[in-house]
């Protein structure tokens, strides 16, 4: 299989952690329900392809996201020790209870930077979301779990349009103060451009959030995800979220399409001589297989170029 020519450039990290969200962000948006055995094989293949972090599923309300209603059953089929980190999404205490029962070691809460998305995605106001997350974080930390926090709509919102940097930093800061050790800044509808990315990251650093705690989560709706990823690396970010095969989106955000495809990101990173630990050929095989399961081609350009 073709590989990118390796040419390094100054000012970039030597190693990047890819936080794989395909089984969660990818599959939550599929119109068909993927059989649980297929999901379990997807997770196992992603781990076998060298991904160190695989977000496996969500313990959200099954009526809100029926695609992931099988979360507990799935975790019964997944080896939670097979990768260093296998987090799950958890919005509230009920979700945490279910996650603890399933034996997870890391949970991710997901806040909104905007009032409209807090209402649409969590059935809570912007302020009420904190009351929902606080006991989740406290109890998770007490139980020895790690907690990641997402902030959605960091670069624009389908209902409210532009979102101010100060608003995003305010929400993110609050989730970090609650005890989240990693903060993932989400471009949920994929509208952001590199200048915005640079400005948001620098405002977070100025607000006292260390760059090592930041991760970036790009959807590729407007084709900006790879440029935004490279900009993030130049700012010193070393954790990037991506979804195998470019699957993804949010059922509660109009026009949220697929995430940055993991293969496209890996091609760029390996071309820049940045280590990821990922076997690109195995990953492409996995996404091509998953595309077969879903009955449509992968939107990832690298999968399209490399899959037979």
User: What residues make contact with ligand HMG under the rule CB under 6 A?
Assistant: 25, 28, 58-61, 64-65, 89, 91-92, 94-95, 98, 110, 121-123, 150, 152, 186, 188, 217, 219, 250, 252
If contact means CB under 5 to 8 A according to the sort of partner, which of Mg ion, ligand HMG, none does residue 91 touch?
Answer: ligand HMG
Residues 15 to 54: which contact Mg ion by CB under 5 A? 25
Beta strand 53-54 with 17-20 is parallel
**Residue 115 binding Mg ion, by CB under 5 A:** no
Binding at 104: pick from ligand HMG, Mg ion, none (beta carbon under 5-8 Å per type): none
64 binds, among ligand HMG, Mg ion, none (CB under 5 to 8 A by kind): ligand HMG
CB 117 within 8 A of CB 107: no
**Separation between Cα atoms, residue 98 and residue 245, nearest integer Å:** 29
- Min CB(102)–ligand HMG separation in Å: 12
The answer to whether 232 and 240 are in contact (CB under 8 A) is yes
The distance of closest approach from Cβ of residue 172 to Mg ion in the complex, given in angstroms and rounded to an integer, is 15
Reply yes or no on whether 154 is catalytic.
no
C-alpha pair distances (Å), 207 with each of 108, 130, 165, 173, 174? 22, 19, 11, 8, 11
Q: What does DSSP say about strands 57-58 and 88-89: parallel, antiparallel, or unpaired?
A: parallel
Active-site entry in 34, 78, 163, 250? 250
- Provide, for the chain, the percentages of residues in helix, strand and coil under a 3-state DSSP scheme, each rounded to the nearest 5: 45, 15, 40
Only one residue has tokens 């400005």, namely 199
Tell the smallest beta-carbon distance from residue 207 to ligand HMG (Å). 19
Q: Which does 49 bind (CB under 5 to 8 A by kind): Mg ion, ligand HMG, none?
A: none
Residue closer to Mg ion by CB (options 25, 182) is 25
Whichever of 25 and 263 has its CB closer to Mg ion, that residue is 25
Helix (H, G, I), strand (E, B) or coil at 12: coil
Residue number with CB closer to Mg ion (243 or 285): 243
User: Which DSSP letter does residue 85 get?
Assistant: B
CB nearer to Mg ion: pick between 25 and 106: 25
Q: Are 126 and 114 in contact (CB under 8 A)?
A: yes
* 59 versus 204: smaller Cβ distance to ligand HMG: 59
Least CB distance from residue 241 to ligand HMG, whole Å?
8
| Angstrom distances, CA of residue 91 to CA of 33, 42, 187 | 21, 24, 19
Residues 237-276 that bind Mg ion (CB under 5 A): none
The one of ligand HMG, Mg ion, none whose footprint includes residue 117, by CB under 5 to 8 A per kind, is none
Question: How far is Cα of residue 221 from the mean position of the Cα atoms in its chain?
Answer: 15
Residues 288, 289, 291: CA angle, nearest 5 degrees: 65
**Could you list the residues that contact Mg ion (CB under 5 A)?**
25
**Which residues carry out catalysis?**
250
């Amino acid at each position: 299989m073709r590989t990118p020519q390796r040419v390094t450039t100054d000012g970039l990290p030597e190693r990047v952690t890819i936080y794989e969200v395909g089984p969660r962000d990818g599959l939550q948006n599929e119109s068909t329900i993927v059989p649980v055995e297929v999901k379990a094989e997807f997770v196992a293949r992603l781990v076998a392809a060298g991904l160190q972090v695989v977000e496996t599923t969500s313990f959200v309300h099954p009526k809100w996201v029926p695609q992931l209603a099988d979360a507990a059953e799935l975790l019964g089929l997944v080896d939670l020790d097979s990768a260093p980190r296998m987090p799950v999404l958890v919005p509230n205490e009920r979700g945490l209870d279910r996650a603890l029962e399933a034996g997870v070691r890391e949970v991710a809460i997901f806040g909104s930077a905007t009032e409209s998305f807090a209402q649409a995605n969590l059935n809570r106001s912007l302020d009420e979301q904190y009351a929902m997350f606080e006991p989740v974080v406290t109890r998770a930390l007490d139980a020895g779990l790690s907690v990641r926090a997402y902030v959605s709509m960091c670069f624009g919102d389908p209902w409210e349009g532009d979102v101010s940097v100060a608003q995003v930093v305010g929400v993110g800061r609050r989730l970090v103060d609650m005890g989240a050790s990693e903060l993932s800044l989400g471009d949920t509808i994929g509208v952001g451009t590199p200048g915005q990315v640079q400005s948001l990251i620098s405002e977070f650093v100025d607000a006292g959030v260390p760059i090592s705690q930041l991760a970036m989560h790009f959807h590729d709706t407007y084709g900006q995800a790879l440029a935004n990823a490279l900009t993030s690396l130049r700012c010193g970010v070393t954790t990037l979220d991506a979804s195998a095969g470019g699957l993804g989106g949010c059922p509660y955000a109009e026009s949220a399409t697929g995430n940055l495809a993991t293969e496209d990101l890996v091609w760029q990173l390996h071309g820049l001589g940045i280590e990821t630990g990922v076997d690109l050929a195995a990953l492409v095989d996995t996404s091509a297989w998953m595309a077969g399961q879903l009955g449509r081609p992968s939107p990832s350009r690298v999968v399209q170029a490399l899959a037979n």
